[in-house]
Amino acid sequence: MNKTILSTLLFLISVSTFAQNLPAPTGLLVELLREPDKAVITDPSPEFGWIFPQEGIQQTACQILVASAPDLLTEEKADLWNSNKINTSASINVPYKGKSLLPHSTYWWKVKVWDKKGNVSAYSVAQQFNTGNFDRSTDEWAGKSNWVELSPNNWVAEDRQMATFSPKEPVLFKKVKEGSWFADFGKAAFATLDFTVSAEKGGDSITVFLGERKNNDLSVNKNPGISNIGFFKTEIQLKKGTHTYQVEIPRHDARYPHSQKMAPFYPEVLPFRYVEIVSKDKPDVKSMIQQALYYLFDDSQSAFNCPNENLGKVWNLCKYTLKATPFLGVYCDGNRERMPYEADAYIQQLGHYSVDREFSAARYTIAFLVSHASWPTEWQMHTVMMAREHYMYTGDTEFLAMIYDDLKKKTLIDLEREDGLISTTTGKVTPDFLKSIHFEGRGFRDIVDWPAGTPAGQNRASNAGANPEGERDGYVFTDYNTVVNAFHFYALKCMSEIAAALGKTEDKTLFKMRSEKVKESVLKFMFDAEKGYFKDGIDTDHASLHANMLPLAFNMVPEENIKSVADHIKTRGMACSVYGAQYLLEALYNAGEAEYALKLMTSEDKRSWMNMLKVGSTMTTEAWDEIYKPNLTWNHAWGAAPANIIPRRLMGIQPLDPGFKTFTVNPQPTGLENIELTIPSIRGSIICKLNSNAEEWKMELSVPGNSEALVLLPSELPNVKVNGEKAEVNSTIEYLGMSRYLYKLPGGTYYISAKK
């Protein structure tokens, strides 16, 4: 055989061999941390995760190497763990099973995988992780995260990622007139300011104004009134020559019971977009830099485009809010209290999971809230809801097990009467009960929505609406009210799922049975069959928006009554707060009212996300406008509902099995012909592009490896092709008088067309 033929054969063999190899796994996680080298882990047996390559479709095996030094990460030298080939489909929450890890140490790991055809990948890029203190017996509460100094001035947190400062140049920097300079950084951030200035002599002074709001001219608005819109003023003495200064902001007033403090090794921050510097002397301000403090965030993980300009603006507003607000490493209520609240955190969690592949802030927040309850009745049950969502998005059962006993109490099952309904006004809220849910303080009570209104003849409070109904649509509080019991039903349902995940069969059955009993009682005592909608509670005929949107949001409404409940909801408009809007939109999509939901999300009324932008905020606001809550903040993530509603409900992408092993793609695109969406999942990015009209749907869908999409298409478009081939229907789903065909698609990229 001559050399030419031989070399050609060798080349073809090498190409064939290469073609059978898989790309290496990416997106490595240790204990759900994507940058574990910038944290310390307190679990002596951590769990590993990775993104299985899409080309392999489904994983059948993996091999993990763990070593005490990166140069030992070979199959011959891995000194902590060489798992050898493990026959498993698990690519998330894979437990470490090597030699005992030492506390306060640094390790490296990598992984390779096999697909169903036997193709094997190369090893992933090695990832470093650090261990910390394994003994948690002295912690004040389960899941507490302490600061740890890994090396001099290198601080990290236990079991969560860090917020770090990012320098931002202004989009506008201008000398307005002699002795006056102005900068606009485009968006507000929790930040401090660095500025460089030249002074001819020492002792010159300047005054610096930082603010979230500006006047019509190039100046910071200096009259925040009773609002908590960001504003700060300070005077600085200059040194002779050119120097860079950092604005020193006083430590935040942590007067609320669970206020979160800035890390002691960081300077204090406050929210601002604009800077004004003035001086009677003759300095020369050379530059300004906004030092913005952001929790770990990857902007490339999510994107949304559609022809509706307003919806695009609302998405960007909400996404940026979810980037900017977790600066303390925990979900808080904005800059006024800096206190975690359960309802705020639930909406922020759903949004955060929808825009970034980041789970540690949510996990830490849940752990904190389990042991640090706030005062509203319904918000205790949000803790159970958060735990359920964490499990569905990550598959993490270890965390559920840690907080399980507390979660059972957070359902408020101890307040039940014989028929399952609960009340906080019938003598069951005892000191022992409050202790069982970790509530300390006074005023435990139902909230329905916030803020309240101002009753006729009373002076208006700074946190109250001007009208008597406030944000509650005139809700009539009774001993047994509909909103509280709708939450109770859903918390019990979530608790049944959590018990099932942990193999607690008796509890699963118990909580499921109790949830059904609550549903039966709500329908019996609180539903007006003659009118076709819900009353606010027992012993009242008032039927608010809230009493109807919550049962519909939680799928409590019999199918034959969904239309009448939805019709009543549509008579009320946006008669709820930015918090209530989460459940209003959930309810509308459950009722097939996608067009009305889109109208609310893109409205330019006072009660709208577009109004937040109109008044000048670059993050979602605590209330729709100052007229509804005078002491509002302009940086409150509980107003960011569209960030999760667009992917979860408009596009219908939600995990069906824990950790996105299977997920739905069930769009309700009414009113939007073209939609492009990219969202993260723990298994990798999901990309969906949809062009739809009454005659045809065209969809491009990217399904992560080692997962499966359940795609639902209108049955009136029965001619379906996937990648050019006729597709067979897996099953038919009937609901709301509609019919959809279901198609199962494993990891891969698909071009789908559905025609009449």
Q: What is the pLDDT of residues 460-479, one digit of tens each?
A: 999 999 999 999 999 999 99
More confident residue, 16 or 751: 751
Predicted local confidence at residue 63, as pLDDT? 98
pLDDT given for residue 254 in this prediction? 79
Domains and CATH numbers, the chain: 3-157 (2.60.40.10), 169-295 (2.60.120.260), 299-650 (1.50.10.10), 660-755 (2.60.420.10)
pLDDT tens-digit readout, 400-440: 999 999 999 999 999 999 999 999 999 999 999 999 999 99
Residue appearing with tokens 């650090």: 130
- Averaged over 732-745, what is the pLDDT? 91
Quick one: average pLDDT of 675-681? 98
Kindly indicate the confidence band of residue 1, based on its pLDDT and cuts at 50, 70 and 90: very low
Dist. CA 331–CA 328, nearest whole Å: 8
Q: What is the pLDDT of residue 697?
A: 97
144, pLDDT greater than 50? yes
pLDDT at 10: 43
pLDDT value of residue 253: 87
- Residues 576-611 have pLDDT tens digits of 999 999 999 999 999 999 999 999 999 999 999 999
Percent of the chain with pLDDT over 70: 97
Give residue 20's pLDDT: 56
For residue 730, name the pLDDT band (cuts at 50, 70, 90). Answer: very high
Angle of the 377-394 helix axis to the 342-355 helix axis, nearest 10: 20
More confident residue, 7 or 630: 630
What average pLDDT does the segment 357-383 reach? Answer: 98
Cα dihedral 573, 579, 580, 584, rounded to 10, equals 70
Output the pLDDT for position 11.
41
Helices (H), 356-445: 360-371, 377-394, 397-410, 431-436
Cα separations (Å) of 670 from 3, 322, 367, 585, 752?
A: 65, 27, 39, 14, 19
**In contact, 188 and 273? CB cutoff 8 Å:** yes
Q: Is the peptide bond before 746 cis (omega within 30 degrees of 0)?
A: no
Do the Cβ atoms of 57 and 748 come closer than 8 Å? Answer: yes
Tell me the mean pLDDT in the region 145-157: 96
pLDDT digits (tens, 9 = 90+) for 619-676: 999 999 999 999 999 999 999 999 999 999 999 999 999 999 999 999 999 999 999 9
- pTM of the entire predicted model: 0.96
Find tokens 């090396």 and name the residue: 151
Please give, one letter per residue, the 3-state secondary structure of 46-91. Answer: CEEEEECCHHHCCEEEEEEEEECCHHHCCCCCCCCEECCCEECCCC
pLDDT beyond 70 at 539: yes
Helix, strand, coil percentages in the chain from 3-state DSSP, rounded to 5: 30, 30, 45
503 CB-contact burial (10 Å; exposed 0-12 / middle 13-18 / buried 19+): exposed
Overall size of the chain counted in residues: 756
Q: Kindly report the backbone phi and psi dihedral angles of residue 354, in degrees, each rounded to the nearest multiple of 5, phi listed first.
A: -80, -20
How confident is the model at residue 605, as a pLDDT?
A: 98
Structure tokens at 328: 């303390």
Longest Cα–Cα distance of the chain, Å, equals 104
φ and ψ at 705, to 5 degrees? -60, 150
* Coil vs helix vs strand at 756: coil
For the segment 306-356, what is each residue's pLDDT rounded down to a tens digit? 999 999 999 999 999 999 999 999 999 989 999 999 999 999 999 999 999
Is the confidence at residue 18, as pLDDT, over 90? no
pLDDT at 210 over 60: yes
Residue 272's pLDDT is 98
Query: How many C-beta atoms lie closer than 10 Å to residue 149's C-beta?
Result: 10
Distance CA 136, CA 442 (A): 30
CB 727 within 8 A of CB 754: no
Q: What is the pLDDT of residues 276-288, one digit of tens each?
A: 999 999 999 999 9
Q: Confidence class of residue 260 from pLDDT cuts 50, 70 and 90?
A: very high
Q: What is the residue-averaged pLDDT of the chain? A: 95
Q: Give me the long-range contacts of 693-700 (CB less than 8 A, separation at least 24).
A: 695/755, 695/756, 696/753, 696/754, 696/755, 696/756, 697/752, 697/753, 697/754, 698/751, 698/752, 698/753, 698/754, 699/665, 699/750, 699/751, 699/752, 699/753, 699/754, 700/749, 700/750, 700/751, 700/752
Give the per-residue pLDDT at 331. Answer: 98
Under the banding of pLDDT at 50, 70 and 90, the label for residue 9 is: very low
- Classify residue 558 by burial, with Cβ atoms within 10 Å: 0-12, 13-18, 19+: exposed
CA distance 439 to 259: 15
Task: Read off the pLDDT band of 138 (50, 70, 90).
Answer: very high
Using CA atoms, how far residue 318 sits from 180, 303, 622, 644, in Å, is 33, 12, 13, 9
